[in-house]
Structures are given as C-alpha cells and as structure tokens.
Amino acid sequence: MESSDYHQDLALLEWQIELGALEAIGDLPVNRYEVPAAVEKPKAAAPATPAGVPVPQQAKVDAVAIAEQAAAAAGTLEELRAAMAAFEHCDLKKGARNLVFSDGIPGARVMLVGEAPGRDEDRAGKPFVGRAGQLLDRMLAAIDMGRDHAEAPVYITNVLPWRPPQNRDPKPEEIAMMKPFLLRHIALAKPQVLVIVGNWSCQALLGKRGITRLRGAWTEAGGVPALPMFHPAYLLRSPEFKREAWADLLSLKAKLANG
C-alpha cells in the first residue's frame, strides 16, 4: 500500500510540474480573491545614523523673513536689483531666463506696478514689451506721458520679477515673498503716484482683488496715492472697457496737474 501511495504521489507531482507548478508555497490553501480588512501602509526607512545619535530635523526656511532682511539692506535701486537676483527661495527663478526689474526713468513722478513678466518680457528682461506693453505705451502717450518722455516720464516694475510657467497666475506664497522687495522698490523710487495695473497687483499692494470694482478709485499703497487700473492685456481681450481705462488715465493726469 505504501509503495502504491508513493508512486501515485510521485505521478501527481510530475503532472503538476508539467502544468508549470515549480514551487510549493505553503501547506494551506490561500484565497487570492479575499479582500483584506486593511492595508498596512509602508513605513519610511529610518535614516542611517550612529547608534544613540538623534536624527537632525531640517529647519523650515522663512522665505518672507529672508526677503524682508535682504530688501531692507538695499540702499539703492542697484543694490535692490542685486538682492533680488541673489534671492534663491522663489522657484520661479529656476525657470526664467531673465530677472525683469524695471524700465523707464527712476525718480519719475508716476510708478506703474504690473503683475508678472510674460514670454516677451522674460526674453527682453524688461516689463511690458509685448502686445500689452505696446498698448500701455499708447495709453500713456494719449496723456503726454511715456517711459522716456522728456517732461513726463514714468517708471515701471512688476510684483514678480520672474515669469510664471505658461503665464499662470501668481501663487500667494510667491506674492508674499516678493512683496518686501516691491515695497522697498517703491520706497527707493520715491514716486508721487502709483498706478496699480491689474488684479494681482491689487492683491499684492491692497490685499484684495476685483479690478472692475477697484479701478478708478484712488487709494493708498506703500504710503503713496494709488490708482488701480485695468491691465492692458485685459483691454486687449475686452476692448469694451477701454472707455473706463480712458477715464482712469484722465483721472491720473488731473491728479498730477493738481500736485
């Protein structure tokens, strides 16, 4: 009987091998379709450190505080530009070609603050040089002003000095870390009037958005009288608002005429 069982078992084993069964996993059957009650999450491997030595915790960088210190240390516009170029905590810098600092005449009575560089501005290293910038130049020329105007020049900068990828909207943390540089820029340029161009510029300097509601109403930003206006790019998309933009330009001209 034992001899018969042995040969029968051997024959069954050879048959299973022919079917492709090469390993014996266990003695008990396993239901492969059974859903476990819970899946244990994999544990992160512990860093290799000598026994008894605590693992150092990486300190969180306060980018805003670093920006505030760097901006405050700048005593001139040239020093501020250098401080911004050396600032390594804004990821936008990694994907940008150029730092877009300013254009126009420093010390001009009017300082315009745009939102962020686009593709053309990133290539040129200057703000408002694309289609929106060309419209802005025509708008300023209509009230006898311009970047290099002999009698009524303007000075132009942006909230962000580096182009966001795909021209996306600025993120709140990007605005927060670059705002100290912007406020210092205003203080060093010493304009008599600010023109806040677009929604995100209003967010940075006024803490609120809604340009259709804010435009045309004089306010204050950085200790300077400020006028929110439509962004020229918005006017290119929605030319029906050019009438309101013209009214804002006349308001700016009147403000300067009245001192």
- Three-state SS for 136-149 is HHHHHHCCCCECCC
Residue 166 domain boundaries? 65-257
- Domain-embedded: residue 42: no
- What pLDDT score does 83 carry? 98
In a domain, 149, yes or no: yes
Q: Which residue has the higher pLDDT, 227 or 11?
A: 227
pLDDT at position 61: 86
Between 53 and 75, name the one with better pLDDT.
Answer: 75
> Which of 159, 100, 107 has the alpha carbon at shortest distance from 130?
100
Q: 230 lies in a domain?
A: yes
Instruction: With respect to residue 235, please indicate whether it lies within any of the assigned structural domains.
Output: yes
Residue with tokens 């060309």: 134
What percent of the chain has a predicted confidence (pLDDT) above 90? 76
Residue 56, pLDDT > 80, answer no
- The stretch 225-244 carries a mean pLDDT of 97
Q: Write down the pLDDT at residue 2.
A: 47
Classify each residue of 177-213 as buried b or exposed e, where b means 16 or more C-beta atoms within 10 Å of its C-beta. bbbbbbbbbbbbbebebbbbbbbbbbbbbbeeeebee
Kindly tell me if the per-residue pLDDT of 1 is higher than 50: no
| pLDDT interval class at 16 (50, 70, 90) | low
Cβ neighbours for 130, distance < 8 A, ≥ 6 positions apart: 118, 119, 120, 121
How many other CB atoms are found less than 10 A from the CB of residue 102?
20
Q: Is 30 part of a structural domain of the chain?
A: no
Instruction: Give the pTM.
Output: 0.77
The yes-or-no verdict on residue 253 having pLDDT over 80 is yes
Mean pLDDT, range 12-19, rounded to an integer? 67
Residues facing 114 on adjacent strands: 158
Judge whether 157 and 127 are in contact, CB under 8 Å. Answer: yes
Does the CA dihedral 219-222-224-230 come out positive or negative?
negative
Q: Is 23 helix (H, G, I), strand (E, B) or coil?
A: coil
More confident residue, 60 or 14: 60
Give first-to-last CA distance, the chain, whole Å: 119
- The token duo for 184 is 């210092």
Write the CATH number for 176.
Answer: 3.40.470.10
Instruction: Give the pLDDT band (50/70/90) at residue 101.
Output: very high
Total tally of structural domains belonging to the chain: 1
Distance between CA 98 and CA 255 in Å, rounded? 35
Residue at 215 is within a domain: yes
